[in-house]
Amino acid sequence: MIGTSSIVKGKRFDFSGIFLYTFLTVLGLLMLAPLVYMFSSALKPTSELFLFPPRFFVVNPTLKNFKDLLLATGTSIVPFSRYIFNSIVVSSFIVVGSIVIAAMAAYPLSKHDMPFKKFIFNMILLALMFAPQVTQIPQFIVIKELGLINTYVALIIPALAAPVSLFLMKQFLDQIPNALLEATRIDGGNEWTTFWKVVMPMLKPAWATLALFSFISAWNDPWAANIYTTTEDMKTLPLALQTLSGGYGVVARTGTVAAASFLMVVPTILVFVITQRMVLETMAHSGIKE
Amino acid sequence: MSNTTVELTRPSVQAKRSPGKLAILWKEVRRHKVSYFFLAPFLLLFTLFTIIPVITSFALSFTYYNMIESPKFIGWSNYKLLFVDDDIFLKAIANTLKFAVITGPVGYIMAFLLAWLISQIPVKYRFIYTLCFYTPAITSSIAISVVWLYMFSGDRYGLINYWAMKLGILNEPWLWLQNIKTIMPVLIIVSLWMSMGIGFLAFLAGLQNVPRDYYEAGAIDGIKNRFQELWFITIPSVKPQLLFGAVMQVVSSLQVFDISIQLLGMPSVLYAGHTVMTHLFDYAFIRFEMGYATAIAVVLFLMMVGLNRVIFRLLGSGE
């Protein structure tokens, strides 16, 4: 009697089960609808783009919009592929860099016992509490004083030391027992080789997680390029898309904009699909325990 | 060899100046120099791009600074100007709070409930639902604004106007993004759509890892249904994730910016979608009044950290 509907005895396909699936499915489809519409617009020929009333799904899919995007905009100052290239360069450096830097910093914070350890971690916790945007002005001044305007470095280094990366990495490392590290420690190896040969491989799920989060924030962020660059050839994909769509009030070039949006969104979804299993493994340890 | 002598002599030099605690501390620091070496790259960048900027922000907020002349100290003038004379800033604060008061709690509770519902279904189906709810959060707001602009378009060709008029709800097209009555609601709806982010994943992961024997023990202790289970077993077990999710939610709901600029333009009609972040961006990177802009940044910083302190007090006192 007790707990018949609870997880333990779980009768999955009772009435409430059907209701649960229906609810989740309907809500899930609603959430996906804007994205599906965007994808189908990217594949629509001109005749379908301006139909009234508009069609949700594409009937005669075509790659013309993508061709237009890569060719027609090529006649403007820089080819569109340049923005894609910039975005890929910046995002890859941020992903690899922040994983290595966060892993290196997480190791002593989690497994060593040195002075100021608690103080450093508390500072990271404090930094979690505000958005990096509030420090944007002095950051801009730092970048400017270092003479880094219009360089890839300016787009990359401010994003490398993200507090949330170190936090997640450290929480994940905390739950790996010290005994396990000791057992696999290579005889005669120093801390440096131990880190690369023993600790790094164990952190794999945490890498995947940081890869996801740092990739998404780097790939989607137009503001770094907006602030730190002034020339057309240093723009990244989101900033170029913002210019292309004209933002608010402009409905021109619907097809090419949809194609560019498609190119923006697909990589983020792919990265999530690839990393999701390891991400959930890491996020299980994301809690803030005092 | 030479290394050990340095280690032996250095602390004694320190010891002469201030014997006892400081010398021991210095010795400890030196003994752990490898640890600091591992921390160095992060700490260097963190100092350069987070700690120094925070301190500089506080300092610059008391100056007039336009990036051409050197900063001029003007005391509390920026703050006085902000809170007494700058009507648009007060409007921005009101908008941001209105936005945060709704999207913060609603987004947070929605994320938790959806994660909980997903954790009730068999593992093999979970991914597909997770993907449905999480994808909007990782979608570029610039990319997806194409769709929202079309949906909320103010003419009769906009999707919502089209259906509302067809169904007889509206007689004539409604200017969703220009009418100050609907600017805020649209902003909130779009943000809620994107709000199943990092917190949602943390909840989902936490919920999957609540030990099964807790539920078995609960069943013996007389837990009758899923809601009692949720309240007495699940929520206490995922409290650390709840705190993490709350901190992330506070930050993201107070920094509303991208969507406002993308959907409403800058400035929005009668500043109805103007937020603290857009005000900051306006003064910093359009007018280059850096002193005034940093004062805005400091206010936003204090709002975020202050609110998160409250959250810590509410959720963090568990252990």
Question: Does B84 reach chain A within 8 Å, measured CB to CB?
Answer: no
Q: Look at domain B80-315 and name its CATH class.
A: mainly alpha
Residue positions counted in chain B: 319
Identity of the residue in A140, A213, A289 whose CB atom sits nearest the CB atom of B240: A289
Q: Quick one: pLDDT at residue A52?
A: 72
Asked which of A13-17, A41-45, A54-58 is least confident by mean pLDDT, the reply is A13-17
On chain A, the residues whose CB falls within 8 A of the CB of B28 are: 114-115
Report the range of poorest mean pLDDT among A95-104, A255-264, B221-230: B221-230
Q: Which residues of A touch B293 (CB under 8 A)?
A: 137
Contacts with B, A 159-178, CB within 8 Å: 160-161, 163-164, 166
Q: Is B42 on the interface with A (CB under 8 A)?
A: yes
Q: Name the pLDDT band for B18 (thresholds 50, 70, 90).
A: low
Helical ranges in A43-79 per DSSP H: 46-49, 64-71
**Looking at the complex, does the CB of residue B317 fall below 8 Å from at least one CB of chain A?**
yes
Task: Check if the interface score ipTM surpasses 0.85.
Answer: yes
Q: What does the pLDDT look like over A68-112, one tens digit per residue?
A: 888 766 556 678 888 999 999 999 999 999 999 999 999 999 998
Query: Given a cut of 50, is residue B47 above it in pLDDT?
Result: yes
Global pTM? 0.88
Task: Give chain B's mean pLDDT.
Answer: 87
| Residue with the two structure tokens 């360069």 | A89
Residue B150's pLDDT band, with cuts at 50, 70 and 90, is confident
- CA atoms of B139 and A38, how far apart (whole Å): 11
pLDDT bucket at A4, cuts 50 / 70 / 90 = very low
Q: According to the model, what pLDDT value does residue A74 have?
A: 54
Q: Does B175 touch chain A (CB under 8 A)?
A: no
Report DSSP letters for A21-42, one per residue: HHHHHHHHHHHHHHHHHHHHHH
pLDDT at residue B168, as a whole number: 87
Per-residue pLDDT reduced to its tens digit, B260-308: 888 888 788 888 889 999 999 999 989 999 999 999 999 999 999 999 9
8 Å CB contact of A287 and B277: no
For chain B, the domains span 80-315
Tell whether B277 is within 8 A of chain A (Cβ): yes
Distance from CA of B230 to the nearest CA of A (A): 10
- Say whether pLDDT at A12 is over 60: no
How far is residue B185's CA from residue B205's CA, in Å, rounded to a whole number? 31
Q: What is the predicted pLDDT for the residue at A25? A: 94
Q: Is B195 helix (H, G, I), strand (E, B) or coil?
A: coil
pLDDT (average), residues B201-224: 87
Question: Does the beta-carbon distance from B304 to A23 stay under 8 Å?
Answer: no
Question: Cβ separation of A130 and B301 shorter than 8 Å?
Answer: yes
State the average pLDDT over residues A104-121. 92
Chain B residue with Cα closest to A289: B240
- Give the closest of A130, A138, A260 to B60, CB-based: A138
* Residue B194 near residue B143, CB atoms below 8 Å: no
